[in-house]
């Protein structure tokens, strides 16, 4: 593996781990709103100091719905999930192209020309071949 690819993978792995840890902190903050802990406890103050700035920003930009129910943790969960599942992999793939994206796709001889001539005939012949192989496998089993 190249040095650049290794650096990118380690960096994105660290970012993903930090986001996962932040999800746990948000869960703890949500549970703490239900049990009302001592606000002078250093752990409680630390958790509120990391989560409340983001919650406040979401509350400012989120309309009040459902009679004042605080939906900011749900929005934060959704945003972190979006970042982890879509944004990070996309940026990683842009920075490190996979070998498959560099190599041209191999097409069986005659396959592209058959599709270009008549797509419906091509699909029917592919379906017939798939059905025949399925029937053969079923008989063999």
The domain of 78 spans 3-103
Q: Do 46 and 63 have their domain in common?
A: yes
Of 22-31, 90-99, 127-136, minimum mean pLDDT range: 127-136
Tell me phi and psi for residue 110, to 5 degrees.
85, -15
Q: What is the pTM of this model?
A: 0.65
pLDDT grade for 131, boundaries at 50, 70 and 90 = confident
What pLDDT is stored for residue 139 in this prediction? Answer: 74
Q: Do 21 and 67 have their domain in common?
A: yes
User: What DSSP element (H or E) covers 132?
Assistant: helix 119-140
Q: Do 61 and 129 have their domain in common?
A: no
What is the helix, strand, coil percentage profile of the chain, to 5? Answer: 80, 0, 20
């Amino acid at each position: 593996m190249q040095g650049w690819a290794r650096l990118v993978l380690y960096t994105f792995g660290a970012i993903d781990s930090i986001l996962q840890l932040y999800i746990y902190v948000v869960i703890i903050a949500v549970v703490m709103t239900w049990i009302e802990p001592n606000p002078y406890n250093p752990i409680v103050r630390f958790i509120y100091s990391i989560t409340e700035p983001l919650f406040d920003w979401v509350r400012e930009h989120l309309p009040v719905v459902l009679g004042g129910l605080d939906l900011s943790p749900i929005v934060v969960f959704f945003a972190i999930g979006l970042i982890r599942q879509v944004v990070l992999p996309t940026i990683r793939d842009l920075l490190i192209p996979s070998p498959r994206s560099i190599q041209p796709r191999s097409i069986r001889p005659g396959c592209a020309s058959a599709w270009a001539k008549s797509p419906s005939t091509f699909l029917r012949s592919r379906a017939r071949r798939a059905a025949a192989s399925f029937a053969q496998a079923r008989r063999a089993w």
